[in-house]
Amino acid sequence: MSYDEKCQLLIIGDSTVGKTSILGRYANNIFNSNYLATIGLDNFTKDENIDGKNVRIKIWDTAGQEKFQSLTKSFFHNAQGIMVVYDVTNSETYQNIKYWTQSIKTYMGNEIAKIAVIIIGNKIDSNEREVNKNEAEAFCSELGYPYFETSAKTGKNVNSTIKYLVREVLKKNNLNKTKSFN
Ligand code: GTP
Ligand code: MG
């Protein structure tokens, strides 16, 4: 399928928060309850019709275990939108949101105004929730980023959340520049 626009996103966050699962649900509508750690970098592509435009959405999946150690500055500069994910059943991953958003700032520098960033609390299907929704919302609003909650397991909010981010990227009119991951 041909496309009108290309949108390059990045998903980051601690290990096991469900980054790969969110992308598996979004791109292929699958969920695997077995944990298979992402090694290095992976990517998922999906074409979507967004407000009458065919958009090729490419999402780079990173390994939480490596944090940013193996990721280069130029890698961040190619992202048009970033999802920072934590696990609502694991408060430590919530505490680390600050680390991830701070890292985006450090790596993006002045470019940060050109990209869209959202924060996602995943695993809301679980009854072992540790992080309160209102508290997370208030915290993210203080940081200045929109907050969403998803379940990769049931699929709840996954598509709408990613579509929100794509729309924000389109709005920022950041597409079709000479940006490419190849
Ligand atoms: P790294 O690749 O190590 O960075 O981890 P990740 O963030 O990609 O996590 P991954 O998607 O591999 O998921 C980790 C574990 O959590 C797996 O066992 C998943 O099945 C499980 N999981 C992911 N999303 C959900 C969810 O929405 N609900 C529940 N209950 N479990 C989930
Ligand atoms: Mg992964």
Query: Which residues, listed in sequence order, are joined to residue 120 by a DSSP beta bridge?
Result: 85, 148
Q: How far apart are CA 32 and CA 24, in angstroms?
A: 9
Centroid of ligand 1 to alpha carbon of 80 (angstroms): 24
Model confidence, pTM:
0.93
Residue 127 CB less than 6 A away from ligand 1: no
Which atom of ligand 1 approaches the CA of 23 most closely? 11
CB contact set of 91 (below 8 Å; sequence gap of 6+)? 130, 131
CB contact set of 99 (below 8 Å; sequence gap of 6+)? 67
Q: How far apart are CA 168 and CA 173, in angstroms?
A: 9
Place of tokens 């130029």: 74
Q: What pLDDT does 90 receive?
A: 98
Residue 18 CB less than 6 A away from ligand 1: yes
Centroid of ligand 1 to alpha carbon of 158 (angstroms): 13
List per-residue pLDDT tens for the chain, 182 residues long. Answer: 689 999 999 999 999 999 999 999 999 999 999 999 998 889 999 999 999 999 999 999 988 886 555 566 667 778 999 999 999 999 999 999 999 999 899 888 888 999 999 999 999 999 999 999 999 999 999 999 999 999 999 999 999 999 999 999 999 864 445 455 54
